[in-house]
Amino acid sequence: MRLTYVYPADPLVADATVRLGNYYYQKQSFAIAAKIFFNFQQKNPQHPLAAKALFLAAQCSYKQEAWADAIKKFQMVVDEYVDDKETRAEAMYWLGDSMFKSRENVRAYQIFKKLTWDYPESKWAKIARGRLTEEVFGNMKDEQ
């Protein structure tokens, strides 16, 4: 923590910040971890760990059941990090799940469907295909 304040321009600050976020995440202090990860991504959007940090900030919101904030952050990962296929596929799944938990079933269905089309080989697409067969989504076909 001292490194980030005393030497803010040092190249090791980015790694120290991510480690600090991980510390709070593991301690289940999700509000603090979310703030650290989100601020890191905002200050370093091109850093190799930026996509993962933003994803972890969204996960922290998800774990706090702050669905609107989780949706916003997962959507940012999906929109801003198109080249990071692994993180993007995982973010799409959790985005759909967050939408489902906030009772936005149509949007959740659309996200899960898009995930299965964009990343059919990923483990997240496999899980999404299973979710799409759930009774809730099955009933949506009858309603449309």
pLDDT band at 12, cuts 50/70/90? confident
The tokens for 126 are 């496999």
pLDDT single digits (tens) 97-125: 999 999 999 999 999 999 999 999 999 99
- Per-residue pLDDT band for 139 (boundaries 50, 70, 90) equals low
118 exposure class (CB count in 10 Å sphere: 0-12, 13-18, 19+):
middle
Task: Please report, in angstroms and rounded to a whole number, the separation of the first and last CA atoms in the chain.
Answer: 54
pLDDT score recorded for residue 141: 54
Q: How confident is the model at residue 16 (pLDDT cuts 50, 70, 90)?
A: confident
Q: How confident is the model at residue 14, as a pLDDT?
A: 83
**Token pair 């198109």 in the structure block, residue:** 82
Strands (E), the chain: none
The rounded distance, in Å, linking the Cα atoms of 54 and 41 is 6
Per the CB < 8 A criterion, the answer to whether 68 and 45 are in contact is no
Q: Which of 44, 57, 34, 54 is nearest to 14 (CA)?
A: 44
- Given a cut of 80, is residue 144 above it in pLDDT? no
